[in-house]
Amino acid sequence: MINIFENKKIRPRKTKIICTIGPATKTEKILKKMIDEGMNIARFNFSHGSQQEFEAWAKIIRILAKKAKKKVEIIQDLQGPRVRVGKMNHEGRHVEIHHEAILSFGKNMRRNDIPILSDIEVLVKGGNTIMIDSGLIELKVKKVANERIFCKVIVGGPVFSGKGLNFPDTQTADSFTKKDEDDLAFGLKIGVDFVALSFVEEAKDITNLTEKIAGKAKVISKIERPQAIYNFQGILDVSDAVMIARGDLGIEIPIEKLPMLQKRILRRCKQSHKPGIVATDMMASMVTSPRPTRAEVLDVSNAVLDGASAVMLSNESAVGKYPVETLIMMRKIIEETETFLEHQELKSLL
């Protein structure tokens, strides 16, 4: 009989850990701990933070990694086309189910309209779905007129300034914005190892970015739109790696489809010998708790079992209370799972 509690010799870890750097991990002391405890890749989220901060972090990480004789690579995660709620006159204004809500992009905004800020053209039409605040609010478009979108509220709730909007039925005009262009030039200047493109929809989005990079970094395609699922093989063929960005993806597709979709994507990545990254909410409870939930432990372990090349911490390491503890816990889960795989003990336990 197998003793699952016996001490095992931990072998070199195969699954890499990506940590998003932010206010919780920006100091040299914390970054040193992160490197010592197994951070393989640092992610800079260009939806937040300044170029000055990113440049300083990159410099510190490289110095500390060199001293520790470890390789720590850097991902530049471009913001992509974002649409957000503008400044609300009354924060937390409630939109009622079955009532009308009007979104306004232009100067024709009226008193009760919800202001929308966008750096891209949004091409919505009647019947399209709009999600606000990570899908907490759901709207159905009735008509579009004079830069105002008239919607029926399907799922109501409070609307706050700065919350993001998702358009699962709508193809965006471009996944690469003017901000992305400026940020990319900066990222290449400081020598990032990877550039992650947000809201990829087709292979052309990646080939366009690859041309701009000109071999100075590798490209990661973030899978977070239904269009990327439909065009996945073409996207995979021209990408250096793929990230399953479960935050936006879980909003734009029925969330119950996410587990099997993750497995299929990782299998396709493995068949194509391309790295597959699993991201978002892997240890979300540890943003505020020193211990993960059992479901989170299983989530990380299952990602390893499914063949993920890397797993990622987002808010957990960027703004969480326990960034180092979260990293250590994730590393332990990976090591334990990989040890079972190597000894083929998992098959015996099942």
Q: For residue range 294-342, what is the model confidence (pLDDT) as tens digits?
A: 999 999 999 999 999 999 999 999 999 999 999 999 999 999 999 988 8
Which has the minimum average pLDDT: 15-19, 46-50, 67-71, 309-313? 46-50
Written as one letter, the residue type at 196 is A
pLDDT of residue 344: 64
Q: What are residue 167's phi and psi, to 5 degrees?
A: -125, 80
Q: Who wins on pLDDT, 349 or 151?
A: 151
Summary mean pLDDT of the chain: 92
pLDDT at site 45: 95
Per-residue pLDDT of 91-112, as tens digits, reads 888 999 999 999 998 777 888 8
Please answer whether residues 52 and 65 qualify as being in contact, where contact means their C-beta atoms are separated by less than 8 angstroms: no
Q: Which two tokens stand for residue 3?
A: 């003793």
pLDDT at 146: 84
Quick: pLDDT tens for 130-186. Answer: 999 988 999 999 999 988 999 999 999 999 998 989 998 887 767 788 899 999 999
| All residues at 6 or more sequence positions from 57 whose CB lies less than 8 Å from its CB, including other chains | 21, 26, 31, 42, 44
Q: Which listed CATH number (3.20.20.60, 3.20.20.70, 3.30.565.10, 3.90.740.10) goes with 16-80+174-349?
A: 3.20.20.60
pLDDT at 346: 44
Q: In this predicted structure, which of 42-46, 233-237, 252-256, 305-309 has the lowest mean pLDDT?
A: 252-256
Helix axes 323-343, 28-36, angle to 10 degrees: 10
For the chain, the structural domain boundaries read 16-80+174-349, 83-166
Q: Which two tokens stand for residue 97?
A: 């189910």
Given 20, 25, 210, 280, the catalytic residue: 280
The pLDDT value recorded for residue 20 is 97
Please give the pLDDT value at position 150: 96
Q: In the CATH scheme, what architecture does the domain 83-166 have?
A: Beta Barrel (2.40)
Phi, psi at residue 148, to the nearest 5°? -125, 135
As a whole-number percent, the residues of the chain with pLDDT over 90 amount to 78
- Residue 62 among the catalytic residues: no
Tell me the CA distances in angstroms from 68 to 10, 62, 144, 172, one per residue in order. Answer: 20, 10, 57, 44
Is residue 222 part of the annotated active site? The answer reads yes
Looking at the predicted structure, is the pLDDT value of residue 15 above 90? yes
Percent of the chain with pLDDT over 70: 94
Question: DSSP secondary-structure letter at 323?
Answer: H
The single residue of 218, 222, 246, 331 carrying the catalytic annotation is 222
pLDDT, position 65:
97
Inter-residue contact 316 to 289 (CB < 8 Å): no
Query: Distance between CA 148 and CA 115 in Å, rounded?
Result: 9
CA 74, CA 6: separation in Å to the nearest integer? 36
Strand partners, 157: 95
Q: Is 43 a catalytic residue?
A: yes
- The catalytic position among 16, 20, 43, 148 is 43
Q: Kindly state the average pLDDT of the residues 40-54.
A: 95
280 among known catalytic residues: yes
- The model's pTM: 0.88
Q: Which of these is catalytic: 62, 84, 216, 270?
A: 84
- Go through 69-102 and write b for each residue having 16 or more CB atoms within 10 A of its CB, e for each that does not: eeebbbbbbbbbbbbebbebeeeeeebeeeeebb
Q: Is 60 exceeded by the pLDDT of residue 71?
A: yes
Using one digit for the tens of pLDDT, what is the confidence trace for 198-244?
Answer: 999 999 999 999 999 999 999 999 999 999 999 999 999 999 999 99
User: In the chain, what are the helix, strand and coil shares in percent, each to the nearest 5?
Assistant: 40, 25, 40
